[in-house]
Chains A and B, each alone.
Chain A
């Protein structure tokens, strides 16, 4: 099949994107409201004196109390998305505001937040408001067909996520030692019914292997019409199980609802009919839908070429998770290339890291009380991630320089345990971190794990 004909002449039913848009908008609104109601805006974005930045994004600043405003904007835009009202501008506002929030502090990094960011970026390019949206009333037009690539691009993204997270599970800790599930599952002893079977070793292996095979297989099960229903049932079971076992917030629901996009348009029309029943009274006050003109899908010239931007986007998505191959050492240990790679639930890592400030001339030294500068959550995340450690070391150096200390050197006394291994020294304590800078280069001051975890 020719890519150009596929991109230009292949069409599918527009209800699929409409349903996806509505679910996405509502789920995002609920997620943001939930985040707010738990008080996390304050504890994660306002309270900390200092935020850990993604490399190259130091210019993203916390907005202080205005962070609430940012959340309001983001939540409102997600409602607009669900309604399909001013969709294009709404999804752009959502993408920008959501991504801004995530960039404030990498302490809160989660793969599914990254998924939301890139998904909303992708949705900026998609005509999700051509059907069953308030925009239809504004333009007085609607489309029954939209280009097939628009729906397929979402499917592709979801498939990449499943498949890559499955690939990442093919490693010796996961499949040969059932780590870290062997550590996590027994601690769920208090769950009714399944609490006791989670103590069994073979269950840990079953769930490790099952999880890996599941992740690798789901894309194929969902794409194939014959296995789609089985695939979907598995999606629901798997995500509800992970929801019961781990504190993973909204992620299971997002993945379950996303899977609807794989189904035929008949299902989407049924969903729309159900929504119609709920909206009966509101719809009576709106002008009759029959007055809206059904038109052929057409894009103007500038939008016509925009879709070709998605080719490099997907090439990036396919290659970026493999960047860890450019670094020596153990990925799970030094985490160079760990993020943005769909490595989910792969490691149980705990650290204990303290910093010694030394005057290189007088040799006077003291240790820093981390809780003076970091929240407990930040301290926890900092303790085992090298890029956090270097950033914090510089912050401390600058802080004490500002206090009038001279000839400052910053050393880390750091211990980390990974997937049940005994703790060992993590950072070379002879290296003055204040003289080292964060970069994409290999961090030589992270001591080697001296153990190999084979696999992807």
Chain B
């Protein structure tokens, strides 16, 4: 017993001396020009400066360089899309339709960068539900169009609006483009009115969220504590939730039949346009990677503090030192798998669902790292586990 204690003490001392070396290496890292730019409260105590991670800086980077610019781009993209849609009313030509489709896809791709930020106003006004609920409810859309009267605020109408509904209106209301254009040939047709109502609703919702960020930004950045409702924790939860549900389940798992006895290809994202499900999924994976690494939205080469830096700060001496790199390499593997799929997931699922399932598994491997290793490392207070601990 005594021997054991002596052994333990020795090891303790060794461990202790190792850890002070870690502190020194951190000190080197923190001599970083960006540090002094943003950190407002410079502490006199050197020790706590070297060892602490500037969370406000991370939140400010998220807000100023990723979230707000992507919302800005989204509202701009939607405005461009609207201009084209308006012209369709008097000029329902194949060319116009093609331009509208192109602008729709651009905005939809931008949306992939925004969907994960379900905080602040976005959460309050159910932004996501107004923008990207799929599959759409075709019958209900048809009824809405025929009646010419509908309340897009009604939750029952979530599956009749947003990008998926535009997808239906631009690709799905006829068996070919002539038949689709026919619906818009009459000026102020019900179809046209529905289309314009959809884009107006999307613009108004996006604008509300974007404009709210002008004031919400400071509150967001200041909320760096560790509580169930603080910015870091909410966004970390949102990020992981998005990856698991919005990306893994919605884009891959559900249509591939992972959660059902049979495969469900009609549940892919961008079902009616057929050929964009892969583009959208890749865009979404790219958005996830950028946010994780901390690539600025408008200039990917500008790298700020985000999860990767945060994890390597927290993991300096745990066994899980390379977690950030592990996540990125698993993510890269998943992207590789997605790249092998055909442009249309509908085709892919119908012809070779096994490849789809293999891709799903490679995405699932990332979920494990996010939900177990990353959550464990972040040690954030999650809102759901509401009970006393031991």
Which A residues fall within an 8 A CB radius of B? 38, 40, 43-44, 108, 110-112, 175-179, 182-184, 186-190, 196-197, 199-202, 205, 209, 246-251, 344-345, 348, 350-352, 364, 366-369, 376-377, 380, 413, 415-417, 420-423
Is B375 interfacial (CB-CB < 8 Å)? yes
Whether A184 pairs with B224 at a CB distance below 8 angstroms is: no
Whether A367 pairs with B259 at a CB distance below 8 angstroms is: yes
Q: Which of B8-16, B63-71, B204-212 contacts A (4 or more CB under 8 A)?
A: B8-16
User: Given the interface contacts A188-B226, A369-B259, does A183 sit within 8 Å of B376 by beta carbon?
Assistant: yes
Kindly list chain A residues whose C-beta atoms are within 8 Å of the C-beta of B317.
Answer: 182, 201
Whether A187 pairs with B323 at a CB distance below 8 angstroms is: no
Kindly list chain A residues whose C-beta atoms are within 8 Å of the C-beta of B368.
Answer: 352, 415, 423
**What string of 1s and 0s marks CB contacts (under 8 Å) between B348-380 and chain A?**
000000000000000010011101110111111
Q: Which of B46-54, B104-112, B141-149 contacts A (4 or more CB under 8 A)?
A: B46-54
- Contacting residue for A190 out of B20, B225, B318, CB 8 A: B225
- Contacting residue for B384 out of A175, A345, A380, CB 8 A: A380
Is B2 interfacial (CB-CB < 8 Å)? no
**Closest Cβ of chain B: how far from A323's Cβ, in Å?**
19
**Closest Cβ of chain B: how far from A120's Cβ, in Å?**
18
Whether A422 pairs with B388 at a CB distance below 8 angstroms is: no
Complex: A189 Cα to B51 Cα, angstroms: 11
Kindly list chain B residues whose C-beta atoms are within 8 Å of the C-beta of A187.
Answer: 226, 378-380
Interface size class on chain B is 35 or more
Residue of chain B at shortest CB distance from A377: B385
Complex: A246 Cα to B230 Cα, angstroms: 17
**Closest Cβ of chain A: how far from B264's Cβ, in Å?**
11
Kindly list chain A residues whose C-beta atoms are within 8 Å of the C-beta of B369.
Answer: 423
Whether B52 pairs with A189 at a CB distance below 8 angstroms is: yes
Residue of chain A at shortest CB distance from B322: A422
- Contacting residue for B52 out of A199, A367, A422, CB 8 A: A199
Whether A350 pairs with B226 at a CB distance below 8 angstroms is: no
Whether A376 pairs with B385 at a CB distance below 8 angstroms is: yes
Q: List 23 A-B contacts (CB under 8 A).
A: A40-B387, A111-B390, A176-B8, A176-B11, A176-B12, A187-B378, A187-B380, A199-B52, A201-B22, A202-B20, A205-B16, A247-B388, A350-B372, A352-B368, A364-B262, A366-B259, A367-B253, A376-B385, A377-B385, A415-B372, A416-B372, A422-B326, A423-B372
**Closest Cβ of chain B: how far from A255's Cβ, in Å?**
13
Whether B384 pairs with A376 at a CB distance below 8 angstroms is: yes
Whether A196 pairs with B45 at a CB distance below 8 angstroms is: yes
Kindly list chain B residues whose C-beta atoms are within 8 Å of the C-beta of A176.
Answer: 8, 11-12, 15
- Contacting residue for A43 out of B11, B43, B230, B386, CB 8 A: B386
Whether B387 pairs with A202 at a CB distance below 8 angstroms is: no
Kindly list chain A residues whose C-beta atoms are within 8 Å of the C-beta of B318.
Answer: 179, 182-183, 420
Whether A246 pairs with B389 at a CB distance below 8 angstroms is: yes
**Closest Cβ of chain B: how far from A48's Cβ, in Å?**
12
B residues 2-39 with Cβ under 8 Å of A? 8, 11-12, 15-16, 19-20, 22-23
Is B258 interfacial (CB-CB < 8 Å)? yes
Is B257 interfacial (CB-CB < 8 Å)? yes
User: Given the interface contacts A190-B224, A201-B317, A352-B367, does A423 sit within 8 Å of B390 by beta carbon?
Assistant: no
User: Given the interface contacts A200-B51, A417-B373, A423-B369, does A175 sit within 8 Å of B390 by beta carbon?
Assistant: no
Complex: A344 Cα to B388 Cα, angstroms: 13
Complex: A199 Cα to B20 Cα, angstroms: 12
Whether B8 pairs with A247 at a CB distance below 8 angstroms is: no
Complex: A178 Cα to B11 Cα, angstroms: 12
Whether A366 pairs with B257 at a CB distance below 8 angstroms is: yes
**Closest Cβ of chain A: how far from B39's Cβ, in Å?**
14
Whether B386 pairs with A377 at a CB distance below 8 angstroms is: yes
- Contacting residue for A205 out of B15, B45, B47, CB 8 A: B15
**Closest Cβ of chain A: how far from B160's Cβ, in Å?**
24
**Closest Cβ of chain B: how far from A449's Cβ, in Å?**
12
Max chain A CB contacts within 10 Å: which of B225, B253, B389? B389
Complex: A404 Cα to B8 Cα, angstroms: 58
Is B261 interfacial (CB-CB < 8 Å)? yes
Complex: A200 Cα to B52 Cα, angstroms: 9
Kindly list chain A residues whose C-beta atoms are within 8 Å of the C-beta of B43.
Answer: 196
**Closest Cβ of chain A: how far from B388's Cβ, in Å?**
3
Residue of chain B at shortest CB distance from A364: B261
Kindly list chain A residues whose C-beta atoms are within 8 Å of the C-beta of B19.
Answer: 201-202, 205
Is B215 interfacial (CB-CB < 8 Å)? no
- Contacting residue for A184 out of B55, B262, B379, CB 8 A: B379
Is B314 interfacial (CB-CB < 8 Å)? yes
Kindly list chain B residues whose C-beta atoms are within 8 Å of the C-beta of A416.
Answer: 372
Whether B323 pairs with A183 at a CB distance below 8 angstroms is: no
A-B pairs with the 5 shortest C-beta distances?
A249-B388, A376-B384, A190-B225, A420-B318, A187-B379
Whether B226 pairs with A189 at a CB distance below 8 angstroms is: yes
Kindly list chain A residues whose C-beta atoms are within 8 Å of the C-beta of B230.
Answer: 190
Kindly list chain A residues whose C-beta atoms are within 8 Å of the C-beta of B262.
Answer: 364
User: Given the interface contacts A110-B390, A201-B317, A377-B384, does A348 sit within 8 Å of B376 by beta carbon?
Assistant: yes
Residue of chain B at shortest CB distance from A421: B319
Kindly list chain B residues whose C-beta atoms are within 8 Å of the C-beta of A250.
Answer: 388
Is B320 interfacial (CB-CB < 8 Å)? yes
Max chain B CB contacts within 10 Å: which of A179, A248, A366, A423? A423
Complex: A434 Cα to B378 Cα, angstroms: 35
User: Given the interface contacts A366-B260, A422-B320, A423-B373, does A177 sit within 8 Å of B15 by beta carbon?
Assistant: yes
**Closest Cβ of chain A: how far from B52's Cβ, in Å?**
6
Whether A248 pairs with B389 at a CB distance below 8 angstroms is: yes
Residue of chain B at shortest CB distance from A44: B387
Kindly list chain B residues whose C-beta atoms are within 8 Å of the C-beta of A184.
Answer: 379
**Closest Cβ of chain A: how far from B38's Cβ, in Å?**
17
Kindly list chain B residues whose C-beta atoms are within 8 Å of the C-beta of A110.
Answer: 388-390
